[in-house]
Amino acid sequence: MVKMTFQDALLDATTLEMARDDSVFVYGIGAPDHKNIFGTTTGLVEKFGENRCLETPLAEDSMTGFGLGAAMNGMRPIHVHIRMDFVLLAMNQIVNMLSCASYGSCGKLKAPMVIRAIIGRGWGQGYQHSKTLHSYFSHIPGLKVVLPTTPSDAKGLLTSAIRDDNPVIFIEHRWLYFAEEDVPEGDFSIPLGKGKVLREGNDLSIIATSWMNIEAMEAAKMLKEYHGVEVEIIDPRTIAPLDEEIILSSVRKTGHCIVADNDWSFSGFGAELSALVAEKAFDSLKKPVTRIGFEHTPCPTVRKLENAFYPNAKTIVRAVEEKLGLPKSDLSSQDLFSHERKFKGPF
């Protein structure tokens, strides 16, 4: 084990895979520049040469098609985007082409490609630099969708994503980059499609994605302190394929389910989970499923409205209190948004 930040873990996985398999290459706008995609491509040019860590023109859609072609002919591309919002320009190649490369060749062609997309948040990212949109991708057959929360998961899941013979959308929350923990050294992978119990508890299940797991962990501490409530937190980690069993068995145990999703709720992943729980664990539910997500507006710039836009630990505490019929605890002393203080702009 070695202490690593989330960004170091991504770099570690990439470096190891590039050393192991010389068909792996990284490309994207800014990939080899001195900022190195927030330090996640540092040293790749020096170690592996310019042909394996490539700058590109601003041409998201065509460069995705480029990746697909390279993948069909034996390469393993990792296409990096500094914001998910820019991936939207590549939707044609991703949805019409990449996702059905295998299906459209009756399984004869493969497209082992990873698309890394960073979710921006805070410090005035605004409505064009803050989207998540994981459910856009999980809606599409043929795509795998990964949202790691911890540094270890970032390393293990990126390794599996690179080794996978199918297209994988790999979604990284900017604020998670600062997280640090002990990460296994050397070769380490976590299978795609396996969720993780982040915290065990018997009173209520919280299924959270990406950054919302951090908020859920904060909420869990408060709920224990104020109410003696033990919530269970499940991080699905990959939403496509989805580890249904880990979610269903938790809900069957607790009888309560809250989905805390790092995106808008309407037509989102939370809706999918609510349907899953209603279809397969209805009899265990003591109350309807609750969804927590962004307010249904574009993301505003000013911090005050951003704070109103994003749900946080407090939102989760209130939802749990309501569901379990508990009195509202006094959260005025709680230091929310503390992570934002580490994040000084511009990016």
Ligand X SMILES: Cc1ncc(C[n+]2csc(CCOP(=O)(O)OP(=O)(O)O)c2C)c(N)n1
Interface residues with another protein (CB under 8 A) are 29-30, 33-35, 55-59, 61-62, 85-86, 88-89, 123-129, 295-298, 300-305, 308-309, 344-347
CB of 35 to another protein, least distance (A): 7
Residue 96's binding partner among ligand X, another protein, none (Cβ under 5 to 8 angstroms by kind) is none
CB of 312 to another protein, least distance (A): 14
CB of 345 to another protein, least distance (A): 6
Sole binder of ligand X in the list 34, 57, 58, 342 (CB under 6 A)? 58
Token pair of 15 as six digits: 């470096």
Does position 336 bind ligand X by CB under 6 A? no
Does position 86 bind ligand X by CB under 6 A? yes
At which residue do the structure tokens 């043929």 appear?
142
CA distance 282 to 274: 10
What b/e readout covers 41-69, taking b as 16+ CB neighbours within 10 angstroms? Answer: bbebbeebeeebbbebeeebbebbbbbbe
Alpha-carbon dihedral sign for residues 196, 197, 198, 204: positive
9, 152 in Cβ contact below 8 A? Answer: yes
Residue closer to another protein by CB (options 124, 255) is 124
Active-site position among 79, 81, 129, 339: 129
CB of 124 to another protein, least distance (A): 3
Told to judge if 60 belongs to the known catalytic residues of this protein, a careful annotator would answer yes
Number of residues that bind ligand X (CB under 6 A): 5
Output 88-91 pairs: Cβ under 8 A, ≥24 positions apart: 88/131, 88/133, 89/60, 89/61, 90/60, 90/61, 90/63, 90/64, 90/115, 91/61, 91/136
Does position 89 bind ligand X by CB under 6 A? yes
155, 13 in Cβ contact below 8 A? Answer: yes
Does position 57 bind ligand X by CB under 6 A? no
CA distance 11 to 134: 22
Active-site position among 60, 218, 272, 306: 60
Residue closer to another protein by CB (options 4, 86) is 86
Chain center to CA of 249: 22
Q: Which residues bind ligand X (CB under 6 A)?
A: 29, 58, 60, 86, 89
